[in-house]
Structure 1
Amino acid sequence: MDILNLLIISLILLLLYISIRKTILNNYKLEEIKNSKIRTHKLVFNNRQILVYSLTSPSNAANRSIGANKNFKEKKLKNPNYKPFDFRYEEYKLAFLNS
């Protein structure tokens, strides 16, 4: 396969990706649920309601984000031993065990 064919195939795949992405973004909206303890969104797809949870990454790099979180700061003031791992654990517990 020569380079021209590869470029044509790549361009077709890119255009297909852009088309599919636009269709999804225009037709399926995530509606934020404000009163939940973790960031939650509702997606309606084929007459089904799907709850989507935005969870903090389990990486060490996410600790900075957790440290800036308002809920984490409040809990840290009440308990000085409260760590980012504890915050992340509570978040994952709500998403996976209470849903």
Structure 2
Amino acid sequence: MIVTLEEMKQYLRVDYEDDDQLIASFITTAEQLCRDVLRMDEEADLGNDEKVRTAVMYTVAYFYEHREEADHHDLILTLRSLLFGSRKEAF
């Protein structure tokens, strides 16, 4: 895991435990989404770059704040912009 639940809760300024399971699932989804954008299969590859950590945190925050009206196309475009320099040319 690139970002722990406690780090993410601090970033989101969440100080209660009601949403822990939701945030944890958002972290998992965000890491997979970043792997897809980066065209990487292994989780170990994500830990080498601070931009990836920022992208994961941004994605979790986006999912958390826009639970009901998320624009996934816009999110993917933003992630591509954030991670462009680290993106592999092909799978």
TM-score range, shorter chain: under 0.3
What's the TM-score, normalizing by structure 2? 0.24
What's the TM-score, normalizing by structure 1? 0.23
Q: Which has the larger radius of gyration?
A: 1
